Amino acid sequence: MRKFILITAMAVLAFLPLRQAESVDSTQYWMKISAADKFQRSLVADTGVAIEAIADDYVTAVGNLEELKHLRERGLKVDVSFPLTAKMNFPPQDQEFHDYGELTAELRSLESRYPNLVKVFSIGKTVENRDIWAMRISGDLAHADQLPGIIFMAGHHAREHLSVETPLRIWMNLLERYANGDERVRRLIDGRDIHFIPAVNPDGLEYDIEGGRYHMWRKNRRLNADGTYGIDLNRNYGYKWGTGGASASPGSETFRGPTPFSEPETQAVKNHIEAHQNITVLLSFHTFSKLILYPWGWSYDGVENARDKAVHETMAKKMAEWNGYTPQQSSELYVSSGDTNDWSYGEYKMISFTFELDPASMWNGGFYPGAGVIPEVVNKNTEPVLYLLEYADNPYRVLEADPVF
């Protein structure tokens, strides 16, 4: 027993300096900050903190000590702040979430069950050399490039496990419905070229659950020049990169990276989309807040083309009828630049959406609402996915079919 204590003590001592060095840069704080409108929220976002939830007169955010200082220097009122040291154990019910190994196995299993409908392949390697998987779904895989294309993405942010789980299970269900002869699902899958990247940031996803506890991690796992880790992949896309609401500071939750597309993960997405010019519609899944967002994020102005603006608004409003989320332009929350939607719409004129899935707030579980929410979230987001498939041949049709304006 004494020997055991000695070994334990030595192990702790050996471990200590490392932990301390790490904690100097990486301690994240949860904050509640007074902010009454999108302009004040943009001031908050500009300090580099990641805003996680918005109420009428305040936001909650996660950031480091330096950013906390900047907030106060700019006269912003921080009502509450405390370090995030929560070491939650993986609750037993959360075993239902797919980790990277289980995700890989699930995709392979779908491919072997539906060989005529599904093809799984890697679009590139991450910083830590993991494959970034893509699943392509079509009733005519051999000629899919000739069909209207649509892309679904998830898991840009490590701790947003529900964003990976939801579209994965939607596709598991839709493939089963196809096999069971559901005519609408058959028509849509047969007539479309569907791309699905379930985990853009698998390194982060794995790190966030390392050791059987949650780490509240957001970014990828790049070792930055100053010893901190991670780049915010949803601030690293190349359209209007670095123009606001994206930090230049490596330790920040919203660090945009040294250059646009500096990261292998965003580079892989870029290469994949560039190779498939038939893609007309994009949906990126995130958590949380129950929102349907569309461009612009970098500017308070709406997209300049009136028809494009109307298509985004009409589709977002329609999808909200099914999932009950709030449809709005991304910068209504606060300005942020370098995200997926600004790039996919700005560069390629894809009709582009981001879903911030359940829950509504930090008080309903935030990033970790538990696996119990999965069935309901999958269920209410299935119809929006089918709706986007329906109109991927020509999204402008929604202006005729459902003339809101």
Minimum distance, C-beta of residue 295 to Zn ion, in the bound complex (Å): 16
Q: How far is residue 103 from each of residues 106, 108, 205, 303, measured CA to CA in Å?
A: 5, 9, 11, 36
Q: Which stretch binds Zn ion (CB under 5 A): 108-116, 169-177, 265-273, 282-290?
A: 282-290
AA identity, residue 372: G
Based on CB atoms, which residue is closest to Zn ion, 261 or 285?
A: 285
Tokens at residue 301, please?
Answer: 């102005």
Q: Where are the beta strands (DSSP E) in 210-303?
A: 279-287, 291-294
Q: Whose Cβ is closer to Zn ion: residue 58's or residue 285's?
A: 285
Q: Is 286 in the site for Zn ion (CB under 5 A)?
A: yes
Question: Cβ closer to Zn ion: 110 or 291?
Answer: 291
The answer to whether 217 and 158 are in contact (CB under 8 A) is yes
Tell me the site size for Zn ion, rule CB under 5 A. Answer: 3
Stretch that binds Zn ion, among 115-123, 154-162, 204-212, 331-339 (CB under 5 A): 154-162
How many Cα atoms within 13 Å fall on the side-chain side of residue 62?
21
Q: Which residues are catalytic?
A: 356
CA-angle at 286, arms to 284 and 248, nearest 5°: 95
Find all residues with CB under 8 Å of 23, minimum gap 6, and list them. none
Residue 51 C-beta: closest distance to Zn ion, Å: 11
- Nearest approach, Cβ of 42 to Zn ion (angstroms)? 18
User: Which residue type does 328 have?
Assistant: Q
Stretch near Zn ion under the rule CB under 5 A, chosen from 27-35, 114-122, 285-293, 329-337: 285-293
Burial (Cβ within 10 Å: 0-12, 13-18, ≥19) of residue 112: exposed
Q: Which is nearer to Zn ion, 160 or 206 (CB)?
A: 160
CA distance 390 to 160: 27
Residue 221 beta carbon to Zn ion: minimum distance, rounded to whole angstroms: 16
Q: What is the rounded distance in angstroms from the CA atom of residue 190 to the CA atom of residue 192?
A: 6
User: Whole-number minimum distance, CB 257 to Zn ion, in Å?
Assistant: 16
* Of 8-16, 58-66, 286-294, 390-398: span binding Zn ion (CB under 5 A): 286-294
Q: How far is the CB of 286 from Zn ion (least distance, A)?
A: 3
Q: How far is the CB of 218 from Zn ion (least distance, A)?
A: 7
Q: What's the CA gap between 365 and 264, in Å, rounded?
A: 31
Nearer to Zn ion (CB atom), residue 33 or residue 50: 50
Nearer to Zn ion, 157 or 222 (CB): 157
The pair of three-digit structure tokens given for residue 150, joined into one six-digit string: 């649509």
Structure tokens that stand for 102 in this block: 């289980």
Q: Is 133 in contact with 197 (CB distance < 8 Å)? A: yes
Q: Give, to the nearest 10 degrees, the angle between helix 264-274 and helix 340-348.
A: 30
Helices 374-391 and 161-179, axial angle in degrees (round to 10): 60
- Choose which of 157, 222, 256, 290 interacts with Zn ion (CB under 5 A): 157
The CA distances from residue 193 to 111, 152, 175, 277, 281, in Å, are: 16, 11, 14, 11, 11
CB-nearer residue toward Zn ion: 139 or 384: 384
Where in 186-245 is the site for Zn ion (CB under 5 A)? none
Residue window 97-136: x/- pattern of binding to Zn ion, with contact defined by CB under 5 A = ----------------------------------------
Using CB under 5 A as the criterion, which residues of the chain lie in contact with Zn ion when the complex forms?
Answer: 157, 160, 286
